[in-house]
Structure 1
C-alpha cells in the first residue's frame, strides 16, 4: 500500500502548546509506513482577505499544497472563548475556496475535555468543506490538566494506546478511501 503521509495541524501558536505536543507525540508513535509532518506555518498565513485570494500568497499556496499531498489530516486546536483559535479559523478560511479538504480523511484531536465548543466548530467547518471526519480516529486526551510533556505523552501507557488506536483508525480510513478510488 505504500507509505501514508499525514499532515498534523495545531491551532495554537504557543511554543509550549499542549495541542502541538500531542501532535508531536503522535508523530513519534506512528508505526512504520506512516509519516506525520507537523505543519509549522500557521502564524505565517496572512489574514484571510478575498481581495488578495487570487494572488495566492506563498504561505497559503504552501499550506494548500501540503494538505492536498497528505493522505489524511490530524487537527488539534485549543478553545478560546468557546471557539477555535483565530489562527486555525484563518487557515480554514483560506482553504474554503479550493478543494483541498474534499473527501480528505480527518481526525480531530483534543488535548482538553473542556474544549467541546472548538471541536464542534472545527467539525462543522471541515464537514462543510467536504472532509471525511473519521470518528474512530477523533479522540480527546486529557493532557491539559495533567500537564504532560511530549515525552510523558509518548510514555503514558493509556494515552499512547489511545493515540496508536487513533492512528490505526485513520490509516484504515485512508486505505478504504484509496480502495474506493480504484
Structure 2
C-alpha cells in the first residue's frame, strides 16, 4: 500500500511535516508512506499555466499523487483557514483526474484548528469522491521540536493510535480499489 502524506505547511521545521515523517518511520511494513513537504515550491495556480508541459514542480506533485493508493493531508491553521500553499496545491489538481477517485484522510497535529479542518473537509470532499470523513486522527504535538515529535509518536499510546489510523486508511483504499 502506497500512501502519499501531504504537509500543508511551507515551514522547514513544520510540526505537520515532522508528524508525517514520524508516522513514515513507524508505519507497518505493508504501508509505504512518502511525504510531500514542498507545497511552498509550487507556482501560484493559474489556468493559463495548465498547458503541457506543466511546471516541473507541479508535474512531480501530480505524479506522486497518481502513484499513490491514497492520501493523508496534514495542515496547520492560518487565520482560521487553509494555508495558501496547501490551497494552491489543491487548486493545481482540480482540472486533472488524479485526485477525483483518490482516497483521502486527514491527520491533525493540534488541539485547535477546527475552522481550517471544516474548510479543508469541504474542499477535499469537492475534489475527491473518496474523501474519508470518518478516518481522522488528532494528535497533540504543538510547540514540539521534530525530535520530540518522533519521541511522542513512538510512545505505545500514540503508536497504537497511528497504527489503527493507518489500518483504517489501508482498508478504505483497498475497498475503494476493489469497487472501482
Distance 1:57 1:67, change over 3 A: same
**Distance in structure 2 (CA, Å) of the matches to 1:68 and 1:94:** 13
Which of 78, 89, 92 aligns to 1:91? It is 89
Q: CA deviation at 1:72?
A: 0.3
- How many residues are aligned here? 178
* Partners of 1:106 and 1:131 within 8 A in 2: no
SS of the equivalent of 1:166 reads: helix
Q: CA deviation at 1:153?
A: 2.6
| Unmatched runs of 5 consecutive residues or more in structure 2 | none
**Distance in structure 2 (CA, Å) of the matches to 1:72 and 1:85:** 21
Query: In angstroms, what is the RMSD of aligned CA positions?
Result: 1.6
1:177 is aligned to 176
Q: CA deviation at 1:136?
A: 3.9
The aligned runs of 1:150-161 (5 Å cut-off) are 150-161=149-160
**Distance in structure 2 (CA, Å) of the matches to 1:171 and 1:103:** 15
| Unmatched runs of 5 consecutive residues or more in structure 1 | none
The aligned runs of 1:48-127 (5 Å cut-off) are 48-55=45-52, 56-127=54-125
Q: What TM-score comes out, normalization by structure 2 length?
A: 0.92
Structure 1 residue 35 and structure 2 residue 32: aligned? yes
1:47 is aligned to 44
Which range is displaced more, 37-46 or 137-146? Answer: 137-146
* Partners of 2:2 and 2:33 within 8 A in 1: yes
Structure 1 residue 24 and structure 2 residue 24: aligned? no
**Distance in structure 2 (CA, Å) of the matches to 1:178 and 1:97:** 22
Which of 129, 134, 159 aligns to 2:132? It is 134
Q: Residues 15-44 of structure 1: CA distance to partner in whole angstroms, max 9, x if unpaired?
A: 221111111111112111111000133222
1:166 is aligned to 165
